[in-house]
Structure 1
Amino acid sequence: MVVISSVYAEDAAVDGVWSDYWVLRFLVNLAGYATIIIPGYLLVQYFKKSNYLETGRGICFPVVKACVFGNELKPGVQEQPFPSPRVETQEPSFTRQTIKLLGCVIGLQASYLTWGVVQERVMTKAYGRTDTEPGVKFRDSQFLVFMNRILAVTVAGLCCALSKQPRHGAPMYNYSFASISNILSSWCQYEALKFISFPTQVLAKASKVIPVMLMGKIVSRKSYEYWEYLTAVLISAGVSMFLLSHSQSQHPSTVTTFSGILILVGYILFDSFTSNWQDALFRYKMSSVQMMFGVNLFSCLFTVGSLLEQGAFFQNLSFMLQHPEFAAHAGLLSVCSACGQLFIFYTISQFGAAAFTIIMTLRQAFAILLSCLIYGHSVTVVGALGLATVFLSLFLRVYARSRMNRKKRAAQSQTPVQKV
């Protein structure tokens, strides 16, 4: 049932300002990003057309070369958007890959399960509430995105400075595409909590693996086998069955607004593009922390620029100083986001965007399953069937991929080597 959220409607009636309408906030944010993107685009085109690699000099030359052309290109060589994939000299063993994947699963689940709990607290509960005062809700999702990204870029920068990294070859401006989509997907995720019910949100996240695979065909020209599509559908269906069967027993809110549905669609599209664009960028010889630094550097630039232009940056800092509890929650969100991003980029670089999305899809089921184990909640027959479907689908996916890899290795070993 699509209705107007009573809580949000009451807040809008009291405040009566433009910032109460998410569409206007979204457009104002985009306008703020455009004031940085458009001049940056014009500069990139100018340097490319002015033969800067041959005529440029001075202290700014290395910076411009790295940002616009990358460090692997030579004068007179036409830029390719994505160089050939890296060739693995030694294929890792199945046991080693399994341990890596298990570590990624544990790291992602720990980071984002904590992040999800704190996120709901920040966006749905009031701060400063007492027996006589109703308290105030924090409304600016973009500031939370900035808080998450500023710590992430700091952590990634320290890792790059303190550890040996491969020679960076990607033009820096390529990170801006993933940065914009990542900012918008995070903003939509925060905003959606103001408009939608729990089942609607988790269903959208549970079915995200399918849009990610479709976006992979568009962005990276990837091809998937039929069994990959089949297992993706089965995983989405199984998680949805488990989540809905549990949420119905908990009597969730049925409030779902049309705005919430639109925001969720935006979240799915932006998030699907982000992971696939990052997966494509890993075709350059870069580490996961280099990817993390590049994306978050642009994210900080875009969000702080937009916040300053709107006059909201110092207002949010004032809110943080007035409510220490919010400051603690924002800090915890930033820590979880930074740790989670380390696992995100490593997972995508090692296993691809589709595998990462499956792990994050399972996060919803793991959260409720953990609640059942800790608090003794019962699991319905439909929920148990959903869990069985998920794990069976994962087993089929791993088995099919292992069998396909064995066939490829056998075919390569039988191919005769031509001597020159």
Structure 2
Amino acid sequence: MRTDEGQFDPENADADCMRKPSGVNSEHDSDEASATVNQHPGKNVSALSSKGSFPRLLVHTTGIIVAYSVYGYLLEKVTSARFGPGEEKFTFFFVLVFITCVFNGAVAKISLFFRPGDNDGAVPQQNYMMIATTYVGAMYGSSTALMYVSYPTQVVAKSCKMIPVMVMGVILGKKYSKIKYVCVAMITFGVFLFIYKGKSAIRGGENEDNAHFVGLLLLLFSLGCDGFTSAFEEKVVSLYNPSTLQLMLFCNFYGSILTFIGILIQGEIMPAVAFFLAHPSILVDILWYATMGAIGQLFIFGTIREFGALVCSTATTLRKFFNVIWSVYYFGHFLGPRQMVGTLLVFGGLALELHSRYTKSGRGVCKTWM
């Protein structure tokens, strides 16, 4: 499910939990990479008032933050590490997305075994295929972009996925509140400040400007895919009402097929196998990366069911912020004053969006647990 970035999006979360509905994880937004999920009416934030709910809330939100923080760290480690005297880098991104889809699909299948009631809802398979196509496109674009831009740049840029989602919504006839447009304006300006001539956020190389431009194009492609995925998921859910686990299973199933075809077309099988044999440590990192993404999805799914999408959104937004701070500290990225202001504007816009939703819900959630 689209992973806070995508997958429940870690990138994608990648804050994807806010969007209603969805069931696929892409954070890398993933982050995560981004998670966009189908909200169940009976499972709302009022559950916070139930006896013993705060410890469970703490476990769920901590699980999301920890799982996707490790997920983001491993993604940056995999895409930035250099091996051997030739300083080889991992460039087999169809393989990376394929492994992610397989792990996510396996988690959904196992979860459905324990929740057979979530198997209800018959969705035409071509609809799942269409969602999977853009879902894979979003993950592939955001992952490949890390060859050209830093992880903080990716996280900040992917945080403006609200923009393509709104654009698609307007095209489809949806109306938005004024506060929504204010949030989008803050995020857009913040992203602009962060990436504009942002050489301090660009990885080294002889053609830094060109590399940065290519990375931004890939992120723009990923955001476009996110916009279509969210809009089409919403339409599918409104027509057929599949469960979140169904969306997660079938979108990752077809995503696995599509990425395997990509692996064959790109000829990645033998080079990737040779790379893993020469540098087995990176395979361990990738398997842990996929595992943490899948674990994060389980925590997101539980949080949505017990406490509602707004609580989940808060956790995934915090995860993104922590990931940027950790990335700057651990990987040595430099953020100038402009990038810092841009980062604050982006997360300020996300926080304002969350606050407006809490206020609109009228359930006093902030007083209950924040």
Structure 1-normalised TM-score? 0.59
Aligned pairs, number: 313
Aligned partner of 2:136 among 183, 202, 212: 183
Paired AA for residue 98 in structure 2: F
Shift of residue 266 of structure 1? 0.5
Structure 1, unpaired ranges of 5+: 1-84, 408-420
User: Are the equivalent residues in 1 in contact too, given 2:123–2:242 (CA < 8 A)?
Assistant: no
User: Are the equivalent residues in 2 in contact too, given 1:239–1:362 (CA < 8 A)?
Assistant: no
Aligned to 1:193: 146
Aligned to 1:303: 259
Aligned partner of 1:265 among 187, 201, 220: 220
Q: Quick one: distance in 2 between partners of 1:115 and 1:87?
A: 27
Shift of residue 325 of structure 1? 0.7
User: Are the equivalent residues in 2 in contact too, given 1:228–1:397 (CA < 8 A)?
Assistant: yes
Q: Quick one: distance in 2 between partners of 1:122 and 1:289?
A: 28
- Computing the radius of gyration from Cα coordinates, the structure with the larger value is 1
State the identity as a percent: 27
Aligned to 1:153: 105
SS of the residue corresponding to residue 208 of structure 2 reads coil
Q: Does 1:278 align with 2:233?
A: yes
User: Are the equivalent residues in 1 in contact too, given 2:136–2:255 (CA < 8 A)?
Assistant: yes
CA gap of 1:275–1:363, structure 2 versus 1, over 3 A, is farther
Structure 2, unpaired ranges of 5+: 1-37, 364-370
Structure 2-normalised TM-score? 0.66
CA gap of 1:164–1:371, structure 2 versus 1, over 3 A, is same
Aligned to 1:319: 275
Deviation digits for residues 375-399 of structure 1 (CA, Å, limit 9, x no counterpart): 9x99998788667766765665455
Deviation digits for residues 163-195 of structure 1 (CA, Å, limit 9, x no counterpart): 332342232422112211111111111221222
User: Are the equivalent residues in 1 in contact too, given 2:112–2:119 (CA < 8 A)?
Assistant: no
Shift of residue 154 of structure 1? 1.3
Aligned to 1:166: 118
CA gap of 1:341–1:255, structure 2 versus 1, over 3 A, is farther
Paired AA for residue 171 in structure 1: V
User: Are the equivalent residues in 1 in contact too, given 2:276–2:282 (CA < 8 A)?
Assistant: yes
Aligned to 1:118: 74
User: Are the equivalent residues in 2 in contact too, given 1:146–1:304 (CA < 8 A)?
Assistant: yes
Shift of residue 297 of structure 1? 0.6
Map 1:20-39; keep pairs closer than 5 Å. none
Q: Quick one: distance in 2 between partners of 1:372 and 1:260?
A: 18
Q: Quick one: distance in 2 between partners of 1:230 and 1:260?
A: 27
Aligned partner of 1:223 among 175, 190, 214: 175
Q: What is the Cα-based RMSD across aligned positions, in Å?
A: 4.4
Map 1:346-357; keep pairs closer than 5 Å. 351=309
SS of the residue corresponding to residue 166 of structure 1 reads helix
Q: Does 1:256 align with 2:212?
A: no
Aligned to 1:143: 95
Shift of residue 296 of structure 1? 0.6
Aligned to 1:19: none
Deviation digits for residues 97-141 of structure 1 (CA, Å, limit 9, x no counterpart): 9979987764443333222222222223233x2xxx325322211
Map 1:400-411; keep pairs closer than 5 Å. 400-405=356-361
Shift of residue 92 of structure 1? 5.1
User: Are the equivalent residues in 1 in contact too, given 2:149–2:201 (CA < 8 A)?
Assistant: no
